[in-house]
Amino acid sequence: MKVTVSYEKYFDIELNKAFELTLQWLNSQHKVKIKKSSPPSFIEVKQGTMMTNTGHDPNWKKLIRISFYSLEKTNTLVRIQATPLSRTIFRVDKLKQSWYDGLFSYLFSILQKAQESAGKKEIIKMKPITQATKKCCSNCGKQIDKDAVICPRCGVDFN
């Protein structure tokens, strides 16, 4: 039986910010290939590997569609739909929980942190404009954009 599992959550952040953070998160994940992207409303990727032992592994190959919906003011709905590729699923509830716990809860926690820090924008605006546009990851040393929340090389979260 082919299935599609869905997850969705509302965040009090701007649509563009949610899209940007999601792209950063995707680039930090194992075996991700972006297939389609329509900024700032839709991303489609393939993620994972066919070499995992069980169908409930978070890295099992899947097609992921992430849609962003702008609601009133800065409210954004993020909807994730994931479909396993090349296998038949018998325990959908176990698959859904495993993928949420192992993969998608991390994205939702990043967006939640962005929502919580949205009130701190005034402090950020008061920093000098002469700052460099790049910074180095404290974990792997890769040079990244100063506004990056996740390192695209090692996946460390800067929040």
Neighbours of 53 (CB within 10 A): 7
| pLDDT confidence tier of residue 94, bands split at 50, 70 and 90 | confident
Choose among 21, 15, 13: nearest CA to 148. 21
Q: Could you give the percent of the chain with pLDDT greater than 70? A: 81
> What's the confidence (pLDDT) of residue 3?
85
Pairwise CA distance, residues 99 & 86, whole Å: 16
CATH 3.30.530.20 domain residues, the chain: 5-126
What's the average model confidence in pLDDT over 115-121? 72
Which fold is adopted by the domain 5-126? Alpha-D-Glucose-1,6-Bisphosphate; Chain A, domain 4 (3.30.530)
The yes-or-no verdict on residue 57 having pLDDT over 70 is no
Pairwise CA distance, residues 107 & 24, whole Å: 10
Q: SS3 helix, strand, coil % of the chain, rounded to 5?
A: 30, 30, 40
pLDDT (tens digit, 9 = 90+) per residue, 39-54? 999 999 998 876 555 5
